[in-house]
Structure 1
Amino acid sequence: MKLFAAFITTLFLAGCSSAQSASDEPVTMADIKSLIGTPTAQSIESCKVLPVGKKACGGPEGYVVYSSETVTDERALLEAIHRYNEK
């Protein structure tokens, strides 16, 4: 029974490590821009601005503008920007 539990635990941990490696791929600015697409909005409330990158002296390298009306997966965009900012 202990051997079976160890086997199951090993399989579980192997699955977790492969899932993490997929999310560890570097995100480029081109990836972020492809998620944004061409921002268009009917109202100013749909326009969003997010900081991207980090300067050595502090602060962001720049900003990206996107529209919540045209971005299909805002959560994926926020995650991509977060991963870009972490590198």
Structure 2
Amino acid sequence: MFKNRIFISGLLFVVASLLQSCSQASNNKPDTEAVAQDLYAQIQQTLQTEGCVRNSDCDLLPVGSKPCGGPESYQPYSKTSSDVAKLQELGNRYQKLRDQYNKENQIMGICVITPKPNVSCVRNQCVTSEKATHVQ
């Protein structure tokens, strides 16, 4: 009988230790929102809208991910002044993180597609303007 109590006490100790280490591991997991905010700030720092000469010097970066799909917004940038590879890498990471967050938290949306704006060079700065959209 005494051996059974020792065995059960030892087993309970092992289970309690495992549960505590699991809870500590989940607490060490980086906060998804904090990481997303940091990535968004990096995107904003990397975007350069100035430095264009013609419209073809400008492009749009799709930013984020809506619950129903598609980007949350489009940010204009100058291809001649911005680190395009870094922007695309940051944009992809941010999109995946927002996708993950939406799925993990079961975020719902109204499933409205964000229209892709036109981008043009105005006074050496890349700017966006809405284009006409027709729902068919």
Q: What TM-score range do you get, normalising by the shorter chain?
A: 0.5 to 0.7
Distance in 1 (alpha carbons) for counterparts of 2:58 and 2:81: 10
Q: How many Å apart are 1:60 and its aligned residue?
A: 1.0
Partner of 1:60: 71
Q: 1:48 aligns with which of 49, 59, 66?
A: 59
In the other structure, the counterpart of 1:78 is 88
Moved over 4 A (4+): none
The DSSP-based 3-state class of the residue aligned with 2:74 is strand
More helix by share: 1
CA distance, structure 1, for counterparts of residue 69 and residue 93 of structure 2: 17
Q: Within 1, Cα distance between the matches of 2:56 and 2:85?
A: 18
**In the TM superposition, what whole-angstrom CA distance separates every residue of 1:30-59 from its partner, at most 9, and x where no partner exists?**
110101134331011010012111111221
Q: Highest Rg: 1 or 2?
A: 2
Aligned residues: 61
RMSD over aligned CA atoms reads: 1.4
Matched, 1:31 2:42: yes
**Matched residues in 1 for 2:39 and 2:94: separation?**
7
Residues in 1 aligned to 2:81 and 2:86: alpha-carbon distance in whole angstroms: 13
Task: Describe the SS at the equivalent of 1:65.
Answer: strand
Q: Secondary structure at the match of 2:75?
A: strand
Alpha-carbon shift at residue 74 of structure 1 (Å): 1.4
Instruction: Give the structure-1-normalised TM-score.
Output: 0.62
Map Cα deviations across residues 63-85 of structure 1 (whole Å, 9 max, x no partner).
111001111x2111110111011
Q: Which runs of 5+ in 2 are unaligned?
A: 1-34, 98-136
Q: CA deviation at 1:86?
A: 0.6
Structure with the larger RCO, 1 or 2 (CA within 8 Å, 6+ apart): 1
- SS of the aligned residue for 1:77 comes to helix
